[in-house]
Structure 1
Amino acid sequence: MRRDIRMSRMLHVLIHMDRHVETVTSEQISKMISTNPVVVRRLMGGLRQRGIVASEKGHGGGWKLTQPLTEISLYDVYQAVGAPPLFNIGSNAEPSECLVEKAVDAQIDSSLKEAEARLFEQFSHISVEDLAQDFENRLEEKHNSSTCTPEAFDQPH
């Protein structure tokens, strides 16, 4: 089953918007994340509804951030992209009279709800800025390490 990558893509876009471009068009974003501009507008529309971005029409228009990345949590972005299902496992869609199936479904549903609550709690405490800082740290490490020197082979990667 395919993974839902909308959240990952929008986090990617938000960090680029903050670090590299002030205003970006749907067409530019679509090239960056290899999708159709219509898909981009739909996803960015969710971010706009949550107050994360704004759009301007016309020449020189495009999408802009409306708040700093420190104020945007992963949970905010998750909600903005439509709160996609987190797990591919779960109970049968059709209710069953089988008591074994009911017991299995009850435990799976309970466990998934608990895991989902924990994940949402974590998402609410991680800002997009945290991810951007991780990117910058990785970029700095890459620039500071040289793969062409003999010493580089002795260093952990």
Structure 2
Amino acid sequence: MRKDSRLSRMLHVLVHMHHQTSPLTSDQIALMLHTNPVVVRRTMAILKAAGFVSSGKGHGGGWQLAMPLAQITLLDIHKALKEGSLFTLGLTDEHNECPIEQAVNTAIDDVLQAAEALVLERFSQVTLDQLAGDQPPLGMPG
């Protein structure tokens, strides 16, 4: 199963935007991510609708940050991208009448839900300026 890397890829792009003095075009971002500009435009449009980036048309146009990285968390981007479950472990349902399978599924599901809650809580504490090196990582000495 292929991993969904949209979150990490968009975090990468947003931090690069922070370090740029001019907007980045979809073509430039596509080269950076080794993907198609159409995929970039589609994903960036999601971030634009959420208010994290803006875009300009024509010569000198492109994508740029609409707010400082310090105001954006990993959780914000995760939610904007409408990422599904953080984990791709699947529960089996081939023998859903089997009490052992039900117990296994319940145990795995409980653990995954607890782990996801912890990850999302941590995501809410990490701002993108920390990724850019503008702030020390949470829990690290300044």
TM-score by length of 1: 0.79
1:68-107 alignment runs, 5 A limit: 68-92=68-92, 96-107=96-107
Which one has the largest radius of gyration?
Answer: 1
| Mean CA deviation greater in 28-37 or 92-101 | 92-101
- Indicate if the aligned counterparts of 2:23 and 2:64 stay in contact, CA closer than 8 A: yes
The Cα offsets for residues 1-37 of structure 1, whole Å up to 9 and x where unpaired, read as 3222111111111111011243111111001111000
The Cα offsets for residues 20-66 of structure 1, whole Å up to 9 and x where unpaired, read as 24311111100111100011011111211211001122222211111
Q: Which residue of 2 aligns with 1:125?
A: 125
- What are structure 2's unaligned runs of at least 5 residues? 137-142
In structure 2, distance between residues paired with 1:58 and 1:18: 21
SS of 1:44's partner is helix
Query: What is the Cα-based RMSD across aligned positions, in Å?
Result: 2.0
Q: Which residue of 2 aligns with 1:10?
A: 10
Deviation, structure 1 residue 82: 2.6
More helix by share: 1
In structure 2, distance between residues paired with 1:95 and 1:81: 34
Residue 95 and residue 120 in structure 1: after superposition, are their counterparts in 2 closer, same or farther (change >3 A)?
farther
In structure 1, distance between residues paired with 2:94 and 2:64: 44
In the alignment, is residue 31 of structure 1 matched against residue 31 of structure 2? Answer: yes
Amino acid at match of 1:66: A
Deviation, structure 1 residue 93: 5.1
In structure 2, distance between residues paired with 1:37 and 1:95: 44
SS of 1:125's partner is coil
- What are structure 1's unaligned runs of at least 5 residues? 137-157
TM-score by length of 2: 0.87
